[in-house]
Chain A
């Protein structure tokens, strides 16, 4: 009896634990790659994820709050953004032109991997979305955005890692690895020209697929895609295409009022924004945020001790009646400029109040990625460089008149007109991540002399046009991880 009871007991215990699914586990913070593209509704989530990548803390480095890392790097490398102090060191060695020539630096690693991350996600979507169940309209919109992202990402990178595109030359220098399918092998670099061919093919395909409607301004619709096309054409000196696409891109968008101009550049409902992201409170990037470096009023160490200033030489070119002149304080004492409290930030002459956080408790804010003003400036510049000066003056007038009530239609022509347009471009787009790209595409030198750059901080005051330093180095880990399939730029 005792033994029988015991055996039954043992048997029961033995059976109790044998469940078929006992060893099958799955995470709760992720979803299996097998189910993401089941339906187009799910596929949309992969697109939204790419939009979110625009404002995400990257690689554990506080400089990299998503695309804002690229934006600040591009201005730090230029002459129009002035660092007022070393602060906690962020962006200083970029400002000094050291890091983009250092194979182990963040600026090289990020500008390469970040954009390839957009490309790899786009490639997955493009490879899988056709098999998903759902409407064709959804599929077109999803594919259109994925293609536009791939085009944009390659364009953002090729301008850094390749030699400057020169329409008059073959552009057969090394560009980037061509990744247009989700494969895992190491892929060698192809020429700059081939990359631009793919960039144009993708953006043309995207424009064909996309319409004007979208969920919100973080999405890429046909306007944004045309804006990309305009930027690409501008970099390739295809002036007519640039002017045409820029004009089409801004259709339906009006310029902001002078009141709106002073509102802190942090709200994507602004009528002028064609593309931008909306960062909500629980999607914060903390001290990685664009506004943790570029605003005047968020309480970060960087802003307290290195509020960003404008080049005094550029500032002095702005008309006194131009609303934009209100964005910078030439005295460094104007208490109308908000600064961080508790403990107080430092003030410096020419510090900005262009970018402000709405709530000083939070570093978040919407960031403009494409504005109608930029499109007008592309129109003006492309026309001016293409001997369409009347159109150029008119485009410039449309913009500047909105900023400065005393502005009258320009009477300049030739280089003087181009210079005037470029001055307005520098002022209008200050801090929005264009300056290094502009200097490089125009084959101009860097010249920080005669302005308020701090001699003990700036490191590099001039760089001649065409210098080898205009080309970023490929990050060392790419050379390592591809076992030499990807090769380095000239050192």
Chain B
């Protein structure tokens, strides 16, 4: 359940301008429907910029210049009206309420439709909603925009966007992500390639009626992005610039400090000696502190002598790091477990121990866009150029993007119309390492608070230089110590010396030709071609890290090309009160992905040259080409009677290369109906402006995310043995494999009340997925691949997503200078798996279990119920299931449900990693018999038992994001006139401002499976901008 409250306050300020005076004219503007005065109506003299607005009584007064013959009255929601002045000095102007947003045109599959006549379910984000927001990836605009849209939180890496799900989770094995369509065709690139300024609207198609025309790809809904085009007789030129900063939006977890750390780790070791080695507590404490005599020779030199054994002390186990001034190594922690009171100051500064600060910085964001558009009776054009540069709040994280777009349409003759929308983007990005030890986020989070970033000689306090002249502490410098965690590594230094970057070029075209046979009959052909080139360069240095000691370099190059080519015949006819529309067509979709990758090691010269000739040895070299094709026949039919009753139908037949030829073709369809009650003669409720009932039912498919050749039995190449070619069994066939099918029912009411002051939608949906694909795991005794045991993809599961969605917009203030409206949205949905494979009725993949009657992401884990007061052991009972989706999700906040806090679990490790960091809550651990606590005892060798995954790390997922606030100010006419501008706006805007969660540091909605990980946290972006129109 999600409820979404966009905290978007739009202030619009209109100021009367100065004008030349001649004679004056007064008047009053009223609502045509009820005669009520309308305030805030804009009145201008036609052909000039002179104007005013009506007051609270709907009255206005204007000085009329010579030559002023008519006025233009316009008001939001009421449209525009020309009024001839004539000789009257007191005018009465009536304005009729327009159908407002219900007249809004909705982009749907293969066409558009008026929202008031639409039988399906869709949500719209328009250019107006995006224009002031400092988003690099337009996907971010969908966050909280409408009910039924779920999003994750974006990573802080510039250009990243959230993952999107529409109405729950459509699949288990295949993709649950909606299809992305840009200007009518599936888009081969990511939406981060598109300049948000170019976007006219984003239409989210949620139900089958909307998505059935995308057939085998429509099952998870469709997101349709439409870019801007020029308008007849409206020539514009706009320049927009924004500048701002980026910083970390979510703080770090509370961790113990250097003073708290040593006694905790002492205890972790002491308890090993006491509970595992069965050494009496007093002796164990002494050994842990280091009070026993030591071996001076042999393999155990330096260890303590106790009985027949040789024992370390905590100082040795922590690598010989003693951060305290003036305390001997064997006196840091006293045998009673407390820190030596003399340890009152550190030999390091706070910065020395702050691993995050070592690679954080003040990030920045700059964005410049120039757009221009216009048109005449026969042609229109839109053009733009944009440049965005965003530097993340982490060093070596950056995105630079150039975008250009040109959209031209022309109709040179009565029977032929054509146009091309061409866009190009060049995107370059640098990023910190994302996995392994070199991931700086997990490295910094996991570092115990006694280890310095820089190599500081404890004897002298001086920094120790390495061969490159740098002073980082990799944790194995003999004069300093041997850090037990990630010894010999330094993720921050490594990221500085390494290189990780990609660049991506995308060229995208959408062209069409209309042949207009008659007024009613039209033939259209569309051809879309997208090409995306991607090149990733990696270099790992030879001094430290995975690249040491020789240096290594990688290249990953790919090229993705796709086309959609269709031929459509459409017919629209109006006779009497009947409106009929029909469309029939044929379409081919083709995707080709080429990949090339190489990896070389043994760098010749360390001179910044990271190209392959500077490396001696090939470690790997490969390439591949994949294809995906779909051929389709499609049709749709619309009918309405008198604008009151609407019926639609759609049918698509898809043949898809992912499936075997005998089962490759399938039909997808939908029907829908709507009834405009408010247009009925019998319906006379004055405060209802609009009331529509609608419903749809249909069938769509899911085919993505299962590989390109899931039915084929294969032997993998690449198993060459030395110089001899070799192959190995890699996939078992299933020729019966086909689509996942999704049958969706949608029922909704759209309404608008009180002169559109209150409007909204309530709808319910029931999305039944069947033939879900499971990769049914085969007995291990039947063999497998290098990735694991064989599995065979089979269509055997069922699942449903049912829910209710609500969206209400209230126009709270509507006045002359100020308007404020707010939208609330809420979603509650229930997801349940209703059929599992007979062979594997339960699939457990930590922390989840898939099972009939349970939801897709139910948690399944040991149930932690406390700590045994007698010995501090963790107590678990049966494995339990927790439902993560039994929650209500509002636009940007969520109530209910659970999150599994991996980050916290890693810091509550019971001291199982010497040198690893600990959460403050670890201070609450059990210490002595009788202690009542819910934190088990510290014990290094009991990590699995005392700190292993369990319900202990589930926490309420209640959270709220303050996602976006923006304020804008339209410059007054007096200023505009001086700069020769027709409109100008200044604005400040913030994204990702604050996360309110149940635990400091916890990132709640990082992924749909409810877990978080140690990756780039979300960014807070605050910018100020100016846009000027001419």
Binding site for B on A (CB under 8 A): 2-3, 6, 9-10, 13-14, 17-18, 22-34, 36, 44-53, 56-60, 85-88, 109, 112-113, 116-117, 119-121, 124, 176-177, 179, 183-187, 215-216, 218, 277-284, 286-287, 299, 301, 304-305, 312, 330, 332, 340-346, 348-350, 359-362, 452, 455-456, 459, 475, 477-478, 480-483, 485-486
Contacts and interface: CB of A to CB of B under 8 A. Distances in A.
Contact of B300 (A116, A452, A481, A486): A452
Interface of B: 269, 272, 277, 298-300, 309-312, 317, 415, 437, 474, 476-477, 482, 484, 486-489, 515, 517, 523, 525, 542-544, 546, 548-550, 552, 565, 567, 569, 586, 588, 590, 601-602, 616-631, 655-657, 661, 664, 708-709, 712-733, 777-789, 839-840, 842, 914, 940-941
B661 to A, nearest CB: 7
Contact of B567 (A10, A109, A286, A287): A10
B783 A287 contact: no
Contact of A48 (B298, B656, B661, B725): B725
B588 A17 contact: yes
A278 B840 CA distance: 40
Given A112-B781, A287-B546, A362-B619, 19 more contacts: A25-B709, A32-B712, A32-B713, A49-B728, A51-B721, A51-B726, A52-B728, A88-B437, A120-B782, A184-B778, A186-B781, A280-B723, A283-B720, A304-B476, A361-B549, A361-B616, A455-B309, A455-B310, A459-B941
Nearest to B728: A49
Contacts of A177: 779, 781
Nearest to B940: A456
Given A218-B722, A301-B488, A480-B777, A49 B715 contact: yes
B329 to A, nearest CB: 17
A23 B629 contact: yes
A452 B303 CA distance: 12
Contacts of A45: 724-727
Contacts of A455: 277, 309-311
14 contacts: A17-B567, A25-B628, A27-B626, A30-B712, A32-B712, A33-B714, A47-B726, A51-B726, A52-B720, A280-B723, A361-B549, A361-B617, A481-B840, A486-B779
A410 B627 CA distance: 69
Contacts of B543: 342-343
Given A117-B783, A360-B549, A283 B625 contact: no
A312 B717 CA distance: 46
A216 B482 CA distance: 45
A304 B488 contact: yes
Given A17-B565, A17-B588, A345 B725 contact: no
A13 B567 CA distance: 7
Contacts of A58: 786
Nearest to A219: B721
A30 B624 CA distance: 10
B713 A33 contact: yes
B299 A475 contact: no
B729 A52 contact: no
Given A13-B525, A33-B714, A56-B786, A50 B728 contact: yes
A61 to B, nearest CB: 10
Contacts of B567: 10, 13-14, 17
B733 A53 contact: no
Given A48-B726, A341-B549, A282 B621 contact: yes
Across the A-B interface, give the 6 residue pairs with the lowest CB-CB distance, nearest first: A120-B783, A361-B550, A48-B726, A49-B726, A33-B713, A49-B728
Given A23-B655, A33-B714, A113 B437 contact: no
A342 B542 contact: yes
B705 to A, nearest CB: 16
Instruction: Name which of A10, A28, A30 has the most chain B CB atoms within 10 A of its CB.
Output: A30
Contacts of A124: 729
Contacts of B546: 287
A177 B973 CA distance: 86
Contacts of A350: 299
Nearest to A14: B567
A25 B310 contact: no
A361 B722 contact: no
Contact of A184 (B525, B716, B782): B782
A179 B781 CA distance: 7
Contact of B714 (A27, A218, A480): A27
Contacts of A187: 779, 781
A280 B722 contact: yes
Contacts of B729: 33, 117, 120-121, 124
B707 to A, nearest CB: 9
Nearest to B839: A483
Given A304-B476, A349-B298, A477-B789, A218 B782 contact: no
Nearest to B436: A287
Contact of B624 (A17, A29, A53): A29
Contacts of B484: 85-86
B779 A53 contact: no
A327 B590 CA distance: 61
A344 B781 contact: no
Contacts of A33: 712-715, 729, 733
Contacts of A481: 777-780, 789, 839-840
B586 A31 contact: no
B620 to A, nearest CB: 6
B780 A475 contact: yes
A59 B725 contact: no
Instruction: Name which of B550, B630, B656 has the most chain A CB atoms within 10 A of its CB.
Output: B550
B602 A305 contact: no
A215 B724 contact: yes
Contact of A301 (B487, B628, B722, B940): B487
Instruction: Name which of B716, B718, B728, B789 has the most chain A CB atoms within 10 A of its CB.
Output: B728
Contact of B515 (A6, A50, A341): A6
B544 A342 contact: yes
Contact of A343 (B488, B631, B730): B488
B719 A48 contact: yes
B602 A359 contact: yes
Given A22-B629, A121-B729, A456 B312 contact: yes
A156 to B, nearest CB: 14
Contact of B437 (A86, A301, A345, A452): A301
B724 to A, nearest CB: 5
B781 A116 contact: yes
B715 A477 contact: no
Contacts of B725: 45, 48
Contact of B724 (A34, A48, A342, A482): A48
A319 B48 CA distance: 108
Contacts of B730: 30
Instruction: Name which of B588, B601, B656, B786 has the most chain A CB atoms within 10 A of its CB.
Output: B786
A23 B661 contact: yes
A475 B590 CA distance: 43
A9 B788 CA distance: 53
A295 to B, nearest CB: 13
B721 to A, nearest CB: 4
Contacts of A52: 719-721, 726, 728
Contacts of A286: 619
A17 B630 CA distance: 11
B657 A23 contact: yes
A31 B552 CA distance: 31
A49 B487 contact: no
A117 B785 contact: yes
A481 B656 CA distance: 31
Nearest to B544: A343
Contacts of A361: 549-550, 552, 601-602, 616-617
Contacts of A10: 515, 523, 525, 567, 569
A141 B713 CA distance: 26
A347 to B, nearest CB: 11
Contacts of B586: 14, 17
A480 B840 contact: yes
